Amino acid sequence: MKISLYSFFILLSLFLSASAQNKDSIPEPSSYYEGILGFRVGTGWPLGNLNEIYDYMPAINAFYQIRLNKHIYTGFNLIFFPQLGNFDGYPKKSKGYGCFLLNGKYAFEIDSKHSSAYIESGAGIYKTEAITGLIPHKVFETQSNFGFNFGIGIDGHITKGSLIDLNILYHNYYDSRNGGNWYSFIGLLVGIKIIENF
């Protein structure tokens, strides 16, 4: 009986030790960083008085995020909205506008494959234009302005290392020209994310 009890404790100790080593070898989502590279395309909708300067435009987006734990991400976001047409009465063609953003994201995971819904917010520099001068010599002058953004999105699982992403952000920036004013627009983007553990 003593031998059997002693053997039981030896086997139990070996099992617990092996389990602990196996658990340590499998990182939890909160114990490592993930790098996420993404590309999106979509459109921009100018709102209010910004609609007098821009029309609806296609959007091109590249971004990089780092996953800090199970829910929180941070990274940078580069979006360009090219203007493809000319405005009546304006001799100089608009080049569109762009922004460089530092954003944070909080994700609510839907499943274990990284599918999630999320909220996102941040701030950055908006490279924008304003119409200056008198007709027929009105031109577009480019200037860097500070602004902020917030919105929502959803990620859907494609493969082990990739996601499809739908993102909607409301943007607001301040332009000191022409008396100073706040301008806003909405960006609707869809694209793919590539996940890399490191």
- pTM to 2 decimals? 0.75
Q: Report the top-level CATH class of 29-197.
A: mainly beta
Three-state SS across 13-33?
HHHHHHHHHHHHHCCCHHHCC
Handedness of CA 111, 162, 56, 179 (dihedral sign): positive
Any idea where the domains of the chain sit in the sequence? Answer: 29-197
CB atoms within 10 A of CB 11: 10
Residues 6+ apart with CB under 8 A from 46: 53, 54, 55, 56, 183, 185
Task: Please give the chain's pLDDT, 198 residues, in tens.
Answer: 444 555 655 555 654 555 444 444 334 444 456 889 999 999 988 898 887 777 778 899 999 999 888 889 999 999 998 876 555 545 455 667 889 999 999 999 887 777 899 999 999 999 887 666 555 555 667 788 899 999 999 999 888 888 999 999 999 999 887 678 898 999 999 999 998 875
